[in-house]
């Protein structure tokens, strides 16, 4: 099931469930995981060259950003009681969607690229995941 939300002239498509094969419906928004390091990353922001990734270095999953060379690693979510992961950049690089269980079950959130303005987009008892940004026509 897909749900679309309009944000600042862009559409955010939320895949509420994966297809029958268990794979995300939008491979372009797929995250890659390096299990040994516990890091999940997404393609870089188109206009900033920064990389959003998930790390459990503080004991739970958090969303970080860093420069392409690996410097400037910054924890954006900094939420010790919840798991925050699956970051996805907006096409213009100004916002990041992510998943979090901070409100009791996994919901999709959006925040500004600097971590401010964290806002829940979904409120559903089902697992909400795999957010993907699409430019509006």
Domain assignment present for 4: no
What percent of the chain has pLDDT above 90?
A: 44
Domain assignment present for 136: no
Domain assignment present for 13: no
**Number of structural domains, the chain?**
1
**36-53 average pLDDT score:** 65
Q: What pLDDT digit, counting tens, does each position of 21-37 carry?
A: 333 333 343 343 333 34
Whole-prediction pTM value? 0.71
Domain assignment present for 14: no
According to the model, what pLDDT value does residue 136 have?
A: 56
**Pair 76, 58: CB distance under 8 Å:** no
pLDDT tier, 18 (very low <50, low <70, confident <90, very high otherwise): very low
Domain assignment present for 83: yes
Q: Tell how far CA 23 is from the center of its chain.
A: 16
| 72 phi, psi to nearest 5 deg | 65, 35
Domain containing 111: what range?
32-127
Domain assignment present for 7: no
| 29 phi, psi to nearest 5 deg | -100, 5
């Amino acid at each position: 099931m897909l749900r679309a939300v309009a944000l600042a002239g862009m559409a955010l498509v939320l895949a509420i469930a994966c297809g029958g094969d268990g794979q995300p419906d939008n491979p372009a928004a797929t995250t890659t995981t390096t299990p040994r390091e516990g890091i999940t990353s997404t393609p870089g922001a188109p206009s900033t060259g920064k990389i959003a990734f998930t790390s459990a270095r503080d004991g739970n999953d958090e969303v970080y950003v860093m420069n392409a060379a690996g410097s400037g690693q910054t924890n954006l979510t900094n939420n010790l009681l919840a798991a925050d992961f699956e970051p996805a950049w907006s096409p213009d690089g100004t916002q990041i969607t992510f998943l979090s269980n901070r409100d009791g079950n996994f919901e999709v959130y959006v925040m500004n690229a600097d971590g401010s303005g964290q806002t829940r987009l979904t409120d559903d008892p089902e697992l909400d995941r795999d957010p993907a940004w699409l430019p509006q026509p």
